[in-house]
Amino acid sequence: MSVRNFIDIQTIDAADLRSILDLAKTLKAKRLAGEVFTPLSGKTLAMVFEKQSTRTRVSFEVGMRELGGHGLFLTDRDMQLGRGETVADTARVLSRYVHAIMLRCHAHEMLSELANYATVPVINGLSNKSHPCQIMADFMTFEEHRGSLEGKTISWVGDGNNVCNTFIAAASKMGYTLNISTPPSLAPCQKTLAQAKKSGGNIVLMDDPHKAAKGADLVVTDTWVSMGDTDAESRIRLLKPYQVNPELMKYAKPDALFMHCLPAHREEEVTAEVIDGAQSVVWDEAENRLHVQKAILMWCMRAV
């Protein structure tokens, strides 16, 4: 039986994405009802972090505990990986100890190499290319508030980063139109864009962020300066016109939602008035990381 990895949205069938989202909603309902549900009893997840995290660390660790398993937190400083052991050898060793591996890393190539040599499922907790666990939480949150994404318009404003790339990759699978407005030098991955358009994704790049937001059902942004970026000052200057503020939100539909994967820098990429306002669903979005990741874990370990 082949290993089920959760690394790139574009490699996962739309039907599987749908089943994961439906399972996440069921798991959330069980938790709210106080129901104990432990399908991963006796299972261990290795959680390997090159990059720090609040939501990824806590949601995966709590998720494994609630499903009856155990999450093992590891950084490269805790492992021989930080002292020169290869990714391939690390994958081979971890596969003998644990039932799945979650990796949050800088280079996407590290994820690919890990998956090539691991004999257990590998989950992308974030890479410089994509952030599929976050996107699944975003989809779940939208559906809870507004129903199906089919035929809806999502507006991405700001840096064309890994989260933006994942919205691009999922466009054809979820049936939404994606309007993107970024500075030309911070445009999303052209390869991901070409692949998504080839598969039928309705994606439009626009210079004007206000035009991108026009008629949107959802406006999304992300921090302008990520861990590892060394050009903070120039990025902030470049991205100032792309701030999500009340003026920009007026171009979206009156009932449009606002999302941000967090952590947020208020008064940079988004104003406090927006992120703390009535249209913001960022806290539901953050909570839903727990529920979708529990569903992803079950899907990867074939516990569905």
The catalytic residue positions are 104, 131, 134, 222, 261, 289
How far is it, in rounded angstroms, from Cα 17 to Cα 212? 26
Nearest to 292 by CA among 133, 77, 131: 133
CA 110 to chain centre: 17
CA 191, 194, 199: angle at the middle one, nearest 5? 125
For the chain, the farthest-separated pair of C-alpha atoms sits apart, in whole angstroms, at 54
The radius of gyration of the chain's CA atoms, rounded to the nearest angstrom, is: 19
How far is it, in rounded angstroms, from Cα 118 to Cα 95? 6
How far is it, in rounded angstroms, from Cα 295 to Cα 303? 9
Alpha-helical regions (H) of the chain:
14-32, 55-66, 87-97, 108-117, 132-146, 162-174, 190-198, 209-213, 232-239, 246-249, 272-275, 282-300
Contact 258, 277 (CB under 8 A): yes
